[in-house]
Chains A and B, each alone.
Chain A
């Protein structure tokens, strides 16, 4: 059992984890604050370009497919239950408790906008899962806490061991004649009961050994040493500068009210100037992909950043 994270040879993977996490955090934050479809589309475009440049398109498609179920729920709830819109597209039958079913253009557009928001968030998490190593994240968390993060780190190490235990115990049971291919669900479930009990007991026994090993390495001593091997490189400063610009621009546009869009009771007029601003905002967030392109193309730039 392995992490979802897979190391690849491109700049996105070689960023400082603080840079990568800040970028992803800002994407999610902006997608939650902004409701204008142009800006949501711009965010999706930006994260999509970075994902493509990070060479994780195949993984991204899986995430997009999984998102479809959530988006269908978003569309259904907004279209069927929200009656705030005025432009009726379709009158449906009478439904007890709900009244006469009506689907409005405003509800449909709002659902599409929120579907875009969901895609931005899911894509940002896809980027996080595949480009930020869990150990680096835990190391960052380790600065704020000690014991809980230590337990978390131990847990990520124990996870593959326990999955190995699970398969080993199952194999032993199979050798003893236990049939895990039973057709009846309850009979099948019964075969798994001993596995869970053995996993608990062996896990607890292992935790004693683990505790002793921790004591031997000075767990209970006062003070904690901390070091980080992660370097800050020019690429991180360039991306942070772009993020700073994007944040300043985003806040300014939010104050002007450009990033908001009123869906109800009738749709706001579309101002194509907003599209230009969203495009410029999106381009700032594509800087990691541009740097990655240069990093792959020019060895000199690679050596400098």
Chain B
């Protein structure tokens, strides 16, 4: 839906290039961090993009990241769920930005930490629905309990990335946003 809405808008070449760049950066940085289980800067990069540029770009960069990186790492049944989970993380960060007047590293870090768990919960849905029966509270809880350590690692990683790169990335991206924003002074 967000993608369809975005397609209808008049998007400049700079915006398309920005989406491609941020999607690639998030995807490319998944590789060197792949050795540490669940710790990867992709979530942070998608969220900071959503925070600065809004829900549309945040969702699209989140959706692009797994699709592109999995062309190199290997697509699987997890790809659509990763697209959804990362897309929503970008849109979620944009929602936070709409509630704040200026960048607040504390709230952003808390949200990024929480997204470590939300991401894992979304990813667990396909596993629970597709391979577990009957769909009871105990099987639901068990599926989520198994992923808890990995989700915690993901959340902690997001917090570390947000505290380390949050302000720098925000400043760089905000400056870039100003550069590509066209202000129309035409009087009506």
Interface on A for B, CB 8 Å cutoff?
1-5, 28, 32, 63, 70, 73-74, 76-78, 80-82, 84, 98, 110, 114, 117-118, 121-122, 125-126, 128-129, 134, 145-148, 150-152, 154-156, 158-159, 162-163, 166, 189, 192-193, 196-197, 199-201, 203-204, 206-208, 210-212, 214-215, 219-220, 263-264
Contact = CB atoms under 8 A, between A and B. Distances in A.
Given A4-B72, A199-B29, A204-B176, A121 B77 contact: yes
8 shortest A-B CB distances, which residue pairs? A154-B20, A207-B17, A158-B24, A211-B13, A114-B131, A207-B21, A151-B19, A162-B28
Interface residues of B, number: 56
B146 interface: yes
A148 B20 CA distance: 9
A117 B131 contact: yes
Nearest to A125: B76
Interface string B141-182: 011001000000000000010001100110011001001000
Nearest to A59: B74
B150 to A, nearest CB: 11
Contacts, number: 178
B185 interface: no
B17 A211 contact: yes
Residue of B31, B76, B143, B164 ringed by the most chain A CB atoms within 10 A: B76
Contacts of B64: 148, 151-152, 155
A2 B74 CA distance: 11
Interface of B is mostly: helix
A206 B134 CA distance: 52
Contacts of A1: 31, 72
Contacts of B76: 122, 125
Interface in B54-80: 60, 64, 67-69, 71-77
Contacts of B21: 158, 203-204, 206-207, 210
Nearest to A210: B17
Contacts of A210: 13, 17, 20-21
Contact of B131 (A118, A152, A203, A207): A118
Contacts of B19: 148, 151, 155
A283 to B, nearest CB: 25
Nearest to B19: A151
A110 to B, nearest CB: 6
A74 B77 CA distance: 15
A80 B143 CA distance: 11
